[in-house]
Amino acid sequence: MKGSTVNLDLRSVSVDTETEVILKDISFKFEPGKIYVLIGRTTSGKTSLMRTIAGLIEPTDGEIHLGEERLDEVPIWDRGIAMVYQQFINYPHRTVLNNVEFPLLRAGVSKADAKAQALAMLEKVGLSEFKDRKPSQLSGGQQQRVAIARALVRNTRVILLDEPLMNLDYKLREQLREEFRTLFKGTADSVTIYATTEPSEALFLGDELLVMHEGRVIQHGKPDFVFENPSSIDVAQIVNDPPMTILDAEIKDGKVNIGNLITFPTPAHLKSEKDGKYKIGTRASEVILGGSESNSEEGTVSLSEVSGSETLLYVKLNVGEVVLQLEGIHDYQIGQAVTISLAPNRIFLFNMDGTLCAAPGN
């Protein structure tokens, strides 16, 4: 499997059983030197897609090509694919250095060369001083870096990372995201695919996003484009944290009406839309606390949740529940009355079937 830089090409790949569809008609070409992020809810098919590429799941239909080679016909052990999981899979009886050099030794690299390459990789991931320790003597973040170093040192053409930060605490995840971005940018000859459920992680790490839902890729593109132009309500909710609030609305006679209480003139980016019933989407960070104009409504707090240095406020209105993202830590009581306002120029408009009609800035 050694050779020049090549693309990983999925051609109409499907996986199904007698009772369910796991992956459905996925076609995509992955290029070396980029970080591709699979983002989707749990059970959306991210892990199944990675396991299919790795050979742990056999596709029902379609083909997987790595350059000129039909990869889905190659045995697992000959595919030369490195995969890192949520759990820290290290050899507990081996030192950090031995863990990293092991795949090289197994591939026939001389002991001297394997040690030199392993030491260089440990330097790259910031673990040189821990080379003689056992994994159990390391922190969770350090153990995950050992697993990643072992995957990278093989210089494989495909690197799969299945939510590798999932089991780490918030601060450590933030730190390792920064490190990963630099680390995987150096893998110019490898296709790097990273799976996550976290929008902030996907937007920060990815050169390209593949949004997955119910076994399909429902949108792909540059992170900023997907974030600002979600093709559907499903995409809009998947790439926003918390998920985008969706409310029923109507455009009529130059106004947007949300229920009977929230009404405002049709904003510029929606003026070309026909009168009719729609769904509107608004991000938590763009809902305003307070206001007395026609685009505001009073509601009651149904939940107040502190997330890091922010407070998520869930407010029940007559038209539905709206989520606000407030800077700082605030103390709101369940049932407390509050007034919220929407930002008309930041509203996303969707057809009743969930497809995007218009996005802010377009």
What are the DSSP calls for 221-239, one per residue? E-HHHHHHS-SBHHHHHHT
- Judged by DSSP in three states, 259 sits in coil
Sheet holding 158-162, edge to edge: 81-84, 158-162, 191-196, 35-39, 208-213, 216-221
Can you give the pLDDT at residue 186?
56
Which residues on adjacent β-strands are paired with residue 322?
A: 315
Residue 142 and residue 240: Cα distance in Å, rounded?
Answer: 29
The structural domains of the chain, with segments of one domain joined by +, span 8-232, 245-358
Render each residue's pLDDT in the chain as its tens digit; 362 residues: 444 568 999 999 999 988 899 999 999 999 998 899 999 999 999 999 999 999 999 999 999 999 999 999 999 888 888 888 766 678 888 999 999 999 899 888 999 999 999 999 898 888 899 999 998 898 877 888 888 888 888 878 898 999 887 766 666 677 777 777 777 765 677 899 999 999 999 999 999 999 999 999 999 999 999 999 999 999 999 999 999 999 999 999 999 999 877 889 999 999 999 999 999 999 999 999 987 666 788 999 999 998 778 999 999 998 899 999 999 999 899 999 999 999 999 999 999 999 999 999 77
SS3 content of the chain, % helix, strand, coil (to 5): 30, 35, 35
- Judged by DSSP in three states, 111 sits in helix
Can you give the pLDDT at residue 185?
67
Of 20, 87, 81, nearest in space to 52 by CA:
81
Residue 259 and residue 174: Cα distance in Å, rounded?
Answer: 40
Superfamily of domain 245-358: Nucleic acid-binding proteins (2.40.50.140)
The interaxial angle of helices 96-106 and 111-124, nearest 10 deg, is 130
Handedness of CA 81, 86, 92, 98 (dihedral sign): positive
Residue 362 and residue 357: Cα distance in Å, rounded?
Answer: 10
- What pTM did the predictor assign? 0.88
Can you give the pLDDT at residue 301?
95
Say whether domain 8-232 belongs to CATH 3.40.47.10. no
